[in-house]
Amino acid sequence: LGRKIVQSTLAKGGMDPVVENVWVIRRMGYSYEENPDGIAMLLSRGSPLGSISFDVDHKRGRKKQKTKYIPTYNLEDILKGILQGLESNRLAQMIQPDELAVVRPLEMVLKQCFEEKGKTAPTVHWYPPASEEESAFATFGNQNNI
């Protein structure tokens, strides 16, 4: 999938030259109750480029344990989402997933695949999940059409 991302990026003439264009991957909720369907959005400049579906049931057994279960996507899910975003957009120079566990693996895959073609990969940084205040505002705003 990483090589397909590189191939698509090069076919479009390289990455988006606008440095401020960042792709953010944001889950639609951070608990099973908030996001039972396992959906994350690929966003650019605040607008959706596509959605990423992930399996929320692969760790459902954790709900029975004392640890808090947070449904999330994996590396393969995010690579597929990036490919979907590339169907009608140029790749951003920075990608920011909100799942810390995929930051380093994504960075390594992209770096290796881009370097194989003598190109620089996009940077990958963590995008922290919404704060309680931001989540409350989003919920309040949706309920009141603000």
Q: Is the pLDDT of residue 8 over 60?
A: yes
Q: What is the pLDDT of residue 138?
A: 56
3-state SS assignment for residue 67: coil
Contacts 24+ apart (CB under 8 A), 59-65: 60/32, 63/32
- Residue 66 is predicted with a pLDDT of 44
Which pLDDT score is estimated for 106? 98
- 62 pLDDT more than 60: no
- Between CA 100 and CA 59 the distance in angstroms is 17
Model confidence pLDDT, tens digit, residues 85-128: 999 999 999 999 999 999 999 999 999 999 999 999 999 999 99
Q: For 129-136, what is the mean pLDDT? A: 73
CB 90 within 8 A of CB 16: yes
pLDDT of residue 146: 46
DSSP 70: -
Tokens of 7: 């191939």
Tokens of 49: 């480029």
Residue-wise pLDDT for 29-59, tens only, equals 888 888 889 999 999 988 999 999 998 865 5
Identify the pLDDT of residue 145. Answer: 47
106 closest CA partner among 125, 87, 133, 86 = 125
Which among 29, 36, 27, 77 has a CA at the least distance from the CA of 54? 77
By DSSP bridging, strand 39-44 and strand 47-53 are antiparallel
Give the residue, 138 or 44, on which the prediction is more confident: 44
Lowest mean pLDDT, pick from 2-6, 71-75, 101-105? 71-75
| Cα–Cα–Cα angle for 102, 30, 141, rounded to 5 degrees | 125
